[in-house]
Amino acid sequence: MKEIKEIIVVEGKTDKAYLLTFLKADILTCNGSAIDGFSIEYLKQLADTRGVIILTDPDYPGTKIRNEIADKIPNCKHAFIDKSKAIKHNKVGVAECDKDEILKALENKITFNNIKNENPLTNSDLMNLNLVGQNSKINKEKVCNYFHLGHCNAKTMLKRLNLLNITYNQLKESLV
């Protein structure tokens, strides 16, 4: 069993039960789009003392929960699972994902940086590297996988890259 010292936040009881079959960790659940059983203030304390990892489903509700928590707790960590590997029986989610894929996501967790990026990436940079517009899907997937950003559109990708203080050259290298 892999031990995780940070608190893991997941969406539901099924996700928690599944993770506990192969992880030794403290796991908090949100039920649906509401944060149940704990407050944001409690999560802030946990983020400061033990760390918090957000591991939500790779779908719209999961992204909404992730963003809601991340807006209020900027020092939390993010573990993203690939949506294409998290589908089983017409359901999308953490509980439908392979154990190895979840372990990989937890190993590659990221923390967005709150330090202002001196040279933030722009939409023009994305255009120059064929990360927006027609025929950009493969490059976008490459970048998202390389930096462990999770599935995202160009606007979200740009925001996440800038939060990680990724430079133009680092972005360019990820496409090689």
Among 3.40.1360.10, 3.30.470.20, 3.30.450.20, 3.40.640.10, name the CATH number for the domain at 1-111. Answer: 3.40.1360.10
The residues near 88 (Cβ < 8 Å, ≥ 6 apart) are: 96
Kind plus residue range of the DSSP H or E element containing 52: strand 52-54
Do residues 156 and 66 touch, judged by C-beta distance below 8 A? no
157, two tokens: 């990708």
Average pLDDT over residues 136-155: 89
Please give the distance of CA 162 from its chain centroid, rounded to a whole number: 15
Residue pLDDT, tens place only, 146-160: 988 888 889 999 988
The residue ranking higher by pLDDT, 32 or 80, is 80
* Residue 88 φ/ψ region, left for φ over 0, alpha for ψ in the -120 to 50 degree band, beta for the rest: beta
Please give the distance of CA 109 from its chain centroid, rounded to a whole number: 7
Nearest of 10, 11, 53 to residue 31 by alpha carbon: 11
d(CA 70, CA 72): 5
Question: Domain ranges in the chain?
Answer: 1-111, 115-176
- Enter the pTM of the model: 0.80
pLDDT band of 44, cuts 50, 70, 90: confident
- For the chain, percent of residues with pLDDT exceeding 90: 51
